[in-house]
Each structure stands twice: as structure tokens, then as C-alpha cells.
Amino acid sequence: GESVGLHLPTLSVQEGDNSIINCAYSNSASDYFIWYKQESGKGPQFIIDIRSNMDKRQGQRVTVLLNKTVKHLSLQIAATQPGDSAVYFCAENILPGGKLIFGQGTELSVKP
């Protein structure tokens, strides 16, 4: 069935290093992907999104890469800061539908 999964459940990085969080999806019909950040005790926050007609999209310190051939998505965070410590989720969607499927999440821990 449909699924979105993350390769690593936890990731620990040094402050200032770059972080890469990976996600695999199985539904080749998905054409829209979103990354969310969830801090402890809060609801998820949108970070960045990408449509399937793009391979890469950049935001402020974050980049999302999409490889449709292997159905793989990644989130890169440049110069990781302690405030980036959180759980990160990927989600997939088939536009214009409203059904979102989330991955399990990766916990990012930033060491000072």
C-alpha cells in the first residue's frame, strides 16, 4: 500500500554542520511533497514543499531534493543550529486531493 518512510529515526549533528534527513515514498502517483518540523509540545510547522515537476527547491537554510526515479526525498539544513533540534516529517500528496500521508519522523539533535 501507500507509505512514506524515513531511513533514520534519529540524527545527531554538531552545531554548524549540515544535516541531511531522508525520506522514501512508495506511491509513484504522488506529485506534491512537504517537510514539516515539530518541536516538543507543539504542532507541526511547514518548512518547505516541492512539486514533482521540480528536482530541487531552496528556502532559507533549507533545501529539498526530489529523486522521482528512486522515489526519494531529502531535506538539507545548512549550518545547523540548536534551534533546529526537532522531529522532522515528510508528507506526500496527490494534488489537488486533500489526503496527506506522513512518514514516521526523524528526530534531529544538534550538539553545541
Partner 1 sequence: EAQVTQNPRYLITVTGKKLTVTCSQNMNHEYMSWYRQDPGLGLRQIYYSMNVEVTDKGDVPEGYKVSRKEKRNFPLILESPSPNQTSLYFCASSPQGTEGAAQHFGDGTRLSIL
The residue ranges that bind partner 1 (CB under 8 A) are 32, 34, 42-46, 49, 89, 91, 93, 95-105
Q: How far is the CB of 89 from partner 1 (least distance, A)?
A: 6
Query: Closest by alpha carbon to 77, among 59, 89, 54, 51?
Result: 59
> At closest approach, how far in Å is the CB of 47 from partner 1?
9
Residue number, 28 or 99, with CB nearest to partner 1: 99
**In terms of CB distance, is 79 or 100 closer to partner 1?**
100
Residue with cell 510547522: 45
Q: Are 23 and 90 in contact (CB under 8 A)?
A: yes
Contact 96, 84 (CB under 8 A): no
**Per-residue buried b or exposed e for 19-44, using 16+ beta carbons within 10 Å of the residue's own CB:** bebbbbbeeeebbbbbbbbeeeeeeb
Q: How far is the CB of 16 from partner 1 (least distance, A)?
A: 27
Shortest distance, position 91 Cβ to partner 1, whole Å? 8
66 or 103, CB closer to partner 1?
Answer: 103
Residues 93, 76: Cα–Cα separation, whole Å: 21
Minimum CB distance to partner 1 smaller for 77 or for 91:
91
